[in-house]
Amino acid sequence: MNKKTMYIIVAVLVIIIVVGVAAYALLYNSGGGGTTSPTATPTVSVADATTLQFSANVTSQGQTTEYKWYGKDIHANMTIRVDFANYAYIMNASQEKSWSSTDSGATWTKGNFTADWISWSPLWTGYVNNLAHWSGSGNYAYTDSSGEAITLFNISVNPTIPASTFTAS
C-alpha cells in the first residue's frame, strides 16, 4: 500500500470513531435513551378539579363498608355515582334524575332524585370538603362528627372517567 491510501484509511477510521463517540454522547446525555430528570406535572387541587374518583372505608360500630365514588362537573350541576356491596346509585343534579341498581349496575331502576340526593349528596360533599386537607398523595383519614372513622383512598383528581360510568343502561 502506498502512503496516500494509508492516510485515507486512517482518516476514515478517525471519522468513524468521532461520529460513534458523538452519537453515544448525544444518545446518553440528552435524554435519548439514558436517564433523564422528569418534568414535574402540575397538580390540581380538589377545589379546582372537574372530575374526582376515590374510595371510602367507613367504619361505624365496628363494621367497615367500602364505597367507591365517582364525580364529574363536581362544582356545578354535578353527576355522582356511588357503588357499595352490590348497590349503585347515579345522581345527575343538572337533570334532577337518579337511578339505582341492586346488582352492581347490571340493571337500573329510575329513582327518586330528591330522596337520593338528600341521602347521598351530603356524604359526597363531606368527603370532598375533607379532601381539601389531603396532602395530594396517599390516603386521608379522619373521624366525622357522628364518630365514624373515614379513610379516603385511591384518590384520583381530574381522572378521565368513562361516560358509561354515569349512564344507567
32, 114: one domain: no
What does the pLDDT read at residue 36? 42
User: What pLDDT band is residue 19 in, cutting at 50, 70 and 90?
Assistant: low
133, 161: one domain: yes
76, 9: one domain: no
| Integer Cα distance of 108 and 136 in angstroms | 34
What does the pLDDT read at residue 75? 83
When divided into structural domains, the chain yields a total of 2
Tell me the pLDDT tens digit for each residue of 46-81: 989 999 999 999 999 999 999 999 999 998 889 999
- As separate numbers, helices (DSSP H) first and strands (DSSP E) second, the chain gives 2, 8
126, 98: one domain: yes
Q: Are 116 and 100 in contact (CB under 8 A)?
A: yes
83, 133: one domain: yes
82 Cβ contact list (under 8 Å, min separation 6): 67, 68, 69, 70, 88, 89, 120, 123, 124
Instruction: Decide if pLDDT at 17 tops 90.
Output: no
Domain range enclosing 155: 46-166
91, 147: one domain: yes
Tell me the pLDDT tens digit for each residue of 95-119: 999 999 999 999 999 999 999 999 9
162, 97: one domain: yes
For the whole model, what pTM was predicted?
0.74
